Structure 1
Amino acid sequence: MANELMDRNDGLMDVSDMMGNLMNNFFGPRDGLWESARHNNSIMRTDISENDKEYGLKIELPGLDKKDIKIDYSNDNLTVSGVLSSKAEEKDKKNNVVRSERRYGNYSRSYYVPGVDENKISAKYENGILNLTLPKSDESQTHHIEIQ
């Protein structure tokens, strides 16, 4: 069952992210290597686990407030979305802003998670990590069928 748990955006989003990063690296500001790496689209990195009773997801959502995160489960799909807004500034000796970057945006990621008891899904957000527990429904248990 673990192989069935997949990210709906895996292939297409990876290509989109690569093209976006390529264009940003070519046309964008000339930051150092580490600066560019810091701003890659790595939001919502996810660890997924499964046992006989439940699925577990740990999703990185750094910089978001709990109130800015939305979780929906419908038709075997879990969707996590969030709104990020933050500001970084650098000032010179006269306190003039010489550089300002505003990171913001809407982020969303969907996961195919079949056979979940949607009334028992729980979520906890702490230190930039969203922990989700998705208990399997009794109907999703594998039943052995004897051949006659």
Structure 2
Amino acid sequence: MATQPSPRPVSARPAAKPKTKRIKVDLAKQTVETYEDDAKVHQFECVSGDDDHPTDRGSFRILRKHHPYRSRAYDVQMNYAMFFIREPRRPPVKALHQYHGPAPLSVLRTLRSRVSAWFGSHGCVRLSETDARALYEWAPIGTQVTVV
């Protein structure tokens, strides 16, 4: 009786490790940057909290995402909302979301930088519709958000 040759072991390549996504909000520059590992993927202009309602600095994680979304507290649209919470989990909860004001975001940024930081949010980080959509589609729940 003839013997069959033994099958050769197939060496499986390890699956590529998924890149770690993270978001950096720079309050001084009023920018949002995204990274995959150490490579910058996006840079967006933003408007953060005003003097009376500053955006908190620290390390956060995206807790939940909603689109469309309407704030019950302020009765405004906050489309592409990504709510982030401090680690370990404790309030306050803020959001990255589409800017909803009457003037273009670029005008608001100019007023904020030249006139007063009063031209800000109630602590959320606001982006143009295009940028908010791109960030919403890019960042999964659990993504780290660092505010500096």
Question: Which structure has the highest helix share of the two?
Answer: 1
- Which structure would you say has the larger Rg? 2
Q: Which has the higher strand share?
A: 1
Q: Same fold (TM over 0.5)?
A: no
TM range (shorter): under 0.3
Greater RCO, CA 8 A, separation 6+: 2
Using structure 1 for the length normalisation, give the TM-score.
0.25
TM, length-normalised to structure 2: 0.25
